[in-house]
Chains A and B, each alone.
Chain A
Amino acid sequence: MRRLLFALLGSVLLIGAAVAFTVQARQSVAQDGPAAEQLTLEPGQLLFRDTGTGRVSSVSPTDPGGARRSSALVCDRFAAARRTAVCLAARPGALPAVTDVLVLDSTLAVRHREALPGTPSRARVSPDGKVVAWTLFVTGDSYAATGFSTRAGLYEVETGRLVKTIEELPVFTADRRYFAADVNYWGITFAADGNRFYATLGSRGTTRLVEADYGRYQGKVLRENVECPSLSPDGTRVAFKKEVSDGVWRLAVLDLASMVETELAESRSVDDQALWQDGSTILYGLDDGVWSVPADGTGGPRLLVENAASPAVTG
């Protein structure tokens, strides 16, 4: 009898503590940020995800520390080009994880919505604004029970064609078709023609840079140890992260003609898909901020926007 009383009392106390913590967490999450404004993709903005509120916000690239305007759109990843933007938002409380891929028009209104399994990882829009590409982390289809894998997909804005995963893309390495059961893709980046694209192919413990032709739907391996490629505006160089030790990545730029690699002046580990602000500057998210570093290996990193991630430049 006494034991039962103790058990009941203890359980009520513990569960009460859990409920109190949960309710208090709800209240701190529900606090509102600044009033939402109507943002558009008009040129001359640096858009980003405000890491405090999750809302897509905007500053002037010439005065990134200045006043920021916030939209009502809440995303985990954001990207934009021309008149198209993409927002990846994980559904809160959805188990297994589901991500809403929101294809947005130039007023950030939802043009198309696709609910896909997984957790947001990378998002990009092709320079012509016609293809939206993303990478999601998924669990459960790896044979290590707690293993993770990635799934990269894309959506043609004009035709509405959806490619849920580019896993089936035929890839050649030295003219031989590459076959493996554990193929993972991540970090798609498109060229200005909306046809040539690059992505990371991860398989058997190695990452490879793949160059692919979307129309012919075929790719070839260019190089090893290249992750999250980002093609320069002129289409001649690729900014990427390369793994220097387990879980440590450095930013570098690869010249596609000469295959010469230049390490950038950022000495910290960066786990992001870089973005070209222009032909000579790289933007990336690190430690709750958006940073910039010259693309030629000179200079040093500079903090552009605090409490920000997922930068996107309109122009």
Chain B
Amino acid sequence: MYIAASRSPDLTTTDPRALPRRVPANVVALGVVSLVTDVSSEMVTAVLPLYLVLGLGLNPLQFGLLDGLYTGATAVVRVLGGHLADRWGRLKAVAGFGYGLSAVCKLGLLAAGSSVAAIGVVLAADRTGKGLRTGPRDALISLSSDPAALGRSFGVHRALDTVGALLGPVAAMGVLAVSLGSYPSVFVTSFCVAAVGVLLLVLFVRDRPGAVDRVAVSSRAALDLLRRRDFRRVTLWAAALGLVTVGDAFLYLVLQRRWDVPVAYFPLLPLGTAAVYLLLAVPVGRLADRVGRWPVFLGGHAALGVALVVVCGPTAGPGLAVLALALHGVFYAATDGVLMAAAGPMVPPELRSTGFAVVQTGQAVARMSSSILFGLAWTLWGLRPAVFAAAGLLAVVVLAAAVARPVRP
């Protein structure tokens, strides 16, 4: 029944060169869809503050407060979307609905005008679309791939995704330059780009092959998933690691303060992380296929721990700032897709989308809690003690997770 799960133990001994050399077409198609969609969404993210303040004359301080609320709401939607996709046996349709919803929201921003409530609703719907599609999409990637090459498949997808995220702000700048600062043009262009993404999904992405056994995909079966010891353990360990993970913005803040990065360049720091992530996503994914996904996943967290020590260490040479950013990129390359590759074989194919949604939600909620806790520690103790405490906790949890080895091999 669980072919993937039962096969995985012998796969470490398989010579990786025996794997199919080509990345599955479906994975590439999903990667291109993500690339195009990320161009669209990052365009809007880049101009949203300007639009709210200058275009609409709103006070953007109001919007930051809603952020936590959205994260909580998308967590529920994510699990629901993942499960419905499994239940109906329609991964592509649910993912497509998520992509479509986010696309329409770009026009919704125009329609919302200057109403704070309406903009809040549109942004929430946009996030809902993102939450809905993630589980089914990652399930499609894993079901389209040879179980022994999951790391590589997720690496290829995440690399393409990151290219889109890097191109988005550039596209937004181009549109603003050509239109002489017209925000509606950015939203309309963003919608058109997102629509191209949906079109590519409809035309080139295949739903998972084979008929689905309806009995196996009841909500009961989904709940039974958590009874599976290996799945439960990987979910809990991923969440535990998420709980001691310092959020991106904090790391960039420390970097900015320590090295006195001019504030104008502050938004460029994430680009450093993204560039390293882009370069390493595929090689690190392949490495995970070869040496085991859990060690690589833990290695990524160790890289983050080292980055934290570097940014708060005794010396502050410019090389160390670059090193910290590079390590942060390694952290992403070794954790984001690799976790999916690690968890994939533990979930029966017909519950893959539900399973991924559960793992991702656990991690997302844990990371949100960690941000709140870290913010608190920072306020109480100051930045450096808080960072050192976080690095210490991270080291402890990584060691414990290495001993526990919830993923075999």
Which residues of A pack against B, CB within 8 Å? 3, 6-7, 10-11, 14-15, 17-18, 21-23, 25-26, 29-30, 76, 90, 92-98, 115-117, 119-121, 137-151, 164, 180-182, 202, 246-247, 271, 309
Contact = CB atoms under 8 A, between A and B. Distances in A.
Contacts of B64: 142, 144, 146-148
| Of A6, A11, A164, most B-chain CB atoms within 10 Å | A11
Nearest to B263: A117
Given A29-B182, A139-B49, 11 more contacts: A21-B189, A29-B179, A90-B54, A95-B173, A97-B49, A119-B49, A121-B53, A140-B266, A142-B64, A148-B63, A181-B383
Contacts of A139: 49, 267
A149 to B, nearest CB: 8
A247 B59 contact: yes
Interface residues of B, number: 61
A14 B195 contact: yes
B199 A10 contact: yes
| Of B173, B176, B263, most A-chain CB atoms within 10 Å | B263
Contacts of A119: 49-50, 53-54
B61 A14 contact: no
By DSSP majority rule, is chain B's interface helix, strand, loop, or mixed? helix
Contact of B200 (A7, A30, A247): A7
A145 B127 CA distance: 14
Contacts, number: 161
B71 to A, nearest CB: 9
A3 B379 CA distance: 56
A141 B256 contact: yes
A143 B173 contact: no
Interface of B: 45-50, 53-54, 57-64, 67-68, 116, 169, 172-173, 175-182, 184-185, 188-189, 191-193, 195-196, 199-200, 203-204, 247-250, 252-253, 256, 263-264, 266-268, 371, 374-375, 378-379, 383
| Of B116, B185, B204, most A-chain CB atoms within 10 Å | B185
A181 B385 CA distance: 13
Contacts of B264: 96, 98, 115-117
8 contacts: A22-B189, A90-B54, A93-B176, A119-B49, A145-B248, A145-B249, A148-B49, A148-B64
A271 B53 CA distance: 11
A293 B200 CA distance: 57
Nearest to A151: B263
A87 B267 CA distance: 25
A144 B68 contact: yes
Nearest to A28: B182
Nearest to B190: A18
Contact of A25 (B46, B48, B116, B185): B185
B203 A7 contact: yes
Going nearest first, the 10 A-B pairs with the smallest beta carbon separation are A93-B176, A147-B64, A92-B181, A25-B182, A18-B192, A96-B267, A18-B189, A148-B60, A93-B177, A14-B192
